[in-house]
Amino acid sequence: MTTEKIENIYKAVFPLVEKAGQILMEGFNSKKDFSLKSAFYDVVTKYDSEIENFLISEIRKLYPDHDFIAEESTGNSKTILSDKPTWIIDPIDGTSNFIKGMPHCCVSVGLAIGKKIVIGIVNNSVHGAIYSAVVGKGAFKNSEKITTSSVQKVSDACIGYEVSLLHVPSIAEKHLKRIQQISSRARMTLSYGSVVMSMCYVACGMLDAYTIEDMFPWDCAAASLIVSEAGGFIKHTNGGEYDIMNPHIVCAGSETLGKDILDLIKNADNNLCSVIKAQKLYLHYAIHSKTKNCLVVGKKQTRKMSITSDLEFEQYFKLIQNLILKCGSIMNEGFSSKQTKFKTKSAFYDIVSEYDKKIEDIIINGISEEYPTHKFIGEEEQAESNIEALLTNEPTWIIDPIDGTTNFMKKIPQACISVGLAVNKQLVLGIVYNPMLNELFTAKKGHGAFLNGEQIHASRICDIKDCVLGYEISLIHDKRVRDKNVKRIYKLASNCTGTRCIGSAALSLCYVAMGRFDAYHIEDLKPWDIAAGAIILEEAGGLVTNSYGGELNIMKPNLIGSSTLELNQQL
């Protein structure tokens, strides 16, 4: 088929994919019922079928002799790709995200001719982004040409990997070894729960690489062309050519990075042995036992706040909210700039941008002018002084000027300004602001939690099998805590319906507070990473404890944030 004919087909089908995105948005903004397919983690909604039926019927009207391979209509049967024009459709990739209100979900439509993908269209209507490609014509996001990143080294790379694959016993050991090999060397490892969106993020440079196995043709078909046309490297995980019908993929912005990831996968597969024995998984940690000294949930002692009046407390809130909104404009400026300067701090994965210090200074100076006796624990201030922070009974502002700095640098819109206030060593106020997505999370002790002024509530999920869990697998790159985190991510991810790693502790806690996640577990962080998010989650009706179910120590934030007590106890 000529290029001109392929382009004409693209022009005819593009509006249909736009319409399918509108159907997705209708469902995204409404309450959704779902049912299970093959397993507790494999879910489907009525919108999956509605979108797929719409696309097939409308395309068939235009091209009655074309074939179709689609998730809901052919997913349970063995499909064969012929040389005929064949549409490969995933009506909603990232259905769990779609159900939970996470924006990483999309409609994916690819066309194969002669067993080669020649058209790819991906509609992420939640973010208003359509990624597209026609073979030989480049890749585009909303009509603007996109290219992959030029990152060469794994240590400089943000790499995507679907941690949720650990819940499939037959392939869990393989994926755990690969996660360990890659995450211990990458600057950051992220897990979004959508193969298609992750590959599109590689195409536009938000991710530097992505690898996936054990998927289906509709998971990768359209996006594989988009990555290739954006200048990316794409191969089978064994180093051979990408196979549409057996999509085991490594895709990367550069060939050098892609080949290094292939080597890491090979090393991991050669060392498959005794990390995990095939056995029944239990719903408790095997890493630590709860000791007699653990505090019991519900026994937490509260102290009277040393704030003279509700009016004064409200003044604190208004002041910090205004300062954060002001800093949000500065953060947006940095996010929109083509290049932002940064440097490493304690390790290759610990970076700081020019905007971190600028934002922290504005917040500290603004508060100090009004309340000169207040104390501060700020990420960049502590990094410069190299003195261990102490929390006293005095009003103390705990500040992370940019939580998710790596995301911020990579133009991934999941980064935020996070500020909490502690009085008498108890959190009483928290604000987390993501200016890129215009999401302002706020909470005051005893007054509930809010997103952009509307009250939010944690989900009521009680069973770990129904839980979407947040966990930062990038912690594997720290040798001191690597073994612990490898074991925990396996135990947790293998039992949850989905696991997401977004690279921001503050936002992850807020996502639990509003029901996008059902739980979040993190250890070995700093107080500024969790202070604001913790009180926001508590005020949303969730539970925040230490890793053993006892009272959270703000200064040593090893925590479980969950929607319910029952879920906390299972974790």
Query: What confidence score (pLDDT) does residue 343 get?
Result: 64
Distance, in Å, from the CA atom of 172 to the CA atom of 168, rounded to the nearest integer, reads: 6
The reply to whether 130 and 158 lie within a common domain is no
Burial group, residue 343, by CB count within 10 angstroms (0-12, 13-18, 19+): exposed
- Write the CATH number for 175: 3.40.190.80
Q: What is the domain count for the chain? A: 3
Task: Read off the CATH number of the domain in which 383 is found.
Answer: 3.30.540.10
Residue 387's pLDDT is 67
Answer whether residue 376 is part of any domain: yes
* Shared domain check, 558 and 442: yes
Give 285 or 123, the one with higher predicted confidence: 123
Whether residue 478 is annotated as binding a ligand: the answer is no
Of 69-73, 298-302, 337-341, 477-481, the poorest mean pLDDT is in 298-302
Report which of 41, 166, 28, 217 is spatially closest to residue 105, judged by C-alpha positions.
28
95-109, 197-211, 217-231, 468-482: range with lowest mean pLDDT: 468-482
Could you tell me if residue 144 is inside a domain?
no
Amino acid at position 223, single letter: A
- Compute the distance between CA of residue 66 and CA of residue 33 in angstroms, rounded to an integer: 32
The answer to whether the beta carbons of residues 154 and 146 sit under 8 Å apart is: no
How many other C-beta atoms lie within 10 A of the C-beta of residue 466? 16
Quick check: is 93 catalytic? yes
Write out the two tokens for 283. 């719903």
Residue 130 shares a structural domain with residue 206: no
pLDDT at position 134 is 98
Q: In the structure, how many helices (H) and strands (E) does the chain have?
A: 16, 28
Backbone φ and ψ for 287, nearest 5 degrees, come out as -85, -45
Strand partners, 130: 123
The model's confidence at residue 348, banded by pLDDT at 50, 70 and 90, is low
Q: Is 403 known as a binding-site position?
A: yes
- Contact indicator for 568, 560 with CB cutoff of 8 Å: yes
Q: What is the pLDDT of residue 485?
A: 87
Residues 135 and 161 in one domain: no
Residues 406 and 188: beta-carbon distance below 8 Å: yes
Check pLDDT > 90 for residue 386.
no
394 annotated binding-site participant: no
d(CA 549, CA 483) in angstroms, rounded, equals: 22
More confident residue, 43 or 219: 219
Cα-to-chain-centroid distance, residue 170: 25
Q: Check whether residue 161 and residue 84 sit in a common domain.
A: no
Mean pLDDT of 555-566: 94
* 3-state SS, residue 503: coil
Q: State the catalytic residue, choosing from 52, 93, 356, 360.
A: 93
Instruction: Name the region of 453 (left: φ>0; alpha: ψ -120 to 50; beta: rest).
Output: left
pLDDT, tens digit, 9 for 90 and up, residues 295-336: 333 333 333 444 546 778 889 999 999 999 999 999 999 998
Domain residue limits at 98 = 3-139
Last residue in a domain, options 107, 139, 171 = 139
Of 52, 71, 173, 472, the active-site residue reads: 71
288 within some domain: no
Quick check: 418 and 443 in contact, CB under 8 A? no
Active-site pick, 45, 95, 442, 564 = 95
pLDDT value for 293? 32
* Burial (CB count within 10 angstroms: exposed 0-12, middle 13-18, buried 19+), residue 280: exposed
Question: Quick one: 466 and 325 in the same domain?
Answer: yes
Q: Do residues 497 and 525 share a domain? A: yes
**Arithmetic mean of pLDDT, 36-47:** 75
For the question of residue 95 being annotated catalytic, the response is yes
Is there a contact between 402 and 333 (Cβ–Cβ < 8 Å)?
A: no
Mark whether 360 is an active-site residue. Answer: no
To the question of whether residue 361 is assigned a binding role by annotation, the answer is: no
Cβ–Cβ < 8 Å for 117, 91: no
pLDDT of residue 44: 86
Q: Is residue 284 part of a domain?
A: no
Q: Is residue 149 part of a domain?
A: no
Catalytic residue among 48, 50, 52, 90: 90
Amino acid occupying residue 77: S
463 in active site = no
> Which tokens hold the place of 13?
């089908």
Q: What is the mean pLDDT of residues 45-53?
A: 94
Band the pLDDT of 271: cuts 50, 70, 90.
Answer: confident
Residue 160 falls within a domain, yes or no? yes
Same domain, 79 and 162: no
pLDDT tens by residue, 194-243? 999 999 999 999 999 999 998 899 999 999 999 999 999 999 999 999 99
Domain end among 213, 240, 270:
270
Lowest mean pLDDT segment, chosen from 282-296, 348-362, 409-423: 282-296
Query: What pLDDT is recorded for position 474?
Result: 85
- Does the annotation flag 524 for ligand binding? no
Q: Which of these is catalytic: 6, 92, 226, 363? A: 92
Looking at 244, 270, 296, the residue that finishes a domain is 270
pLDDT the model gives residue 70: 92
Residue 391 has pLDDT above 50, yes or no: yes
The verdict on residue 73 lying in a domain is: yes
In percent, how much of the chain has pLDDT > 70? 88
pLDDT for 278 beyond 50: no
What confidence tens digit (pLDDT) does each residue in 507-552 have?
999 999 999 999 999 998 899 999 999 999 999 999 999 999 999 9
Evaluate whether residue 452 is within a structural domain: yes
Q: What is the pTM of this model?
A: 0.88
The tokens of 268 are what? 């991991």
Percent above pLDDT 90 for the chain: 72
Mean pLDDT over residues 77-84, rounded?
Answer: 81
Q: Output the pLDDT for position 287.
A: 33
Is residue 2 part of the annotated active site? The answer reads no
Integer angstrom CA distances of residue 456 from 320, 442, 447, 540, 542: 21, 10, 12, 6, 11
Same domain flag for 375 and 349: yes
- Is 219 catalytic? The answer is yes
- Mark out the alpha helices in 63-205 (DSSP H runs): 71-74, 95-100, 169-183, 195-203
Say whether 281 sits in a helix, a strand or coil.
coil
Question: What secondary structure, in 3-state letters, does 76-116 show?
Answer: CCCCCCCCCCEEEEEEEECHHHHHHCCCCCEEEEEEEECCE
Q: Report whether pLDDT(373) > 80.
A: yes
Average pLDDT estimate for 480-493: 88
Do 63 and 134 reside in the same domain of the chain?
yes
**pLDDT at residue 354, rounded to an integer:** 84
Instruction: Give the mean model confidence (pLDDT) for residues 153-165.
Output: 94
Claim to verify: residue 124 and residue 163 sit in the same structural domain? no
Q: Are residues 351 and 464 in the same domain?
A: yes
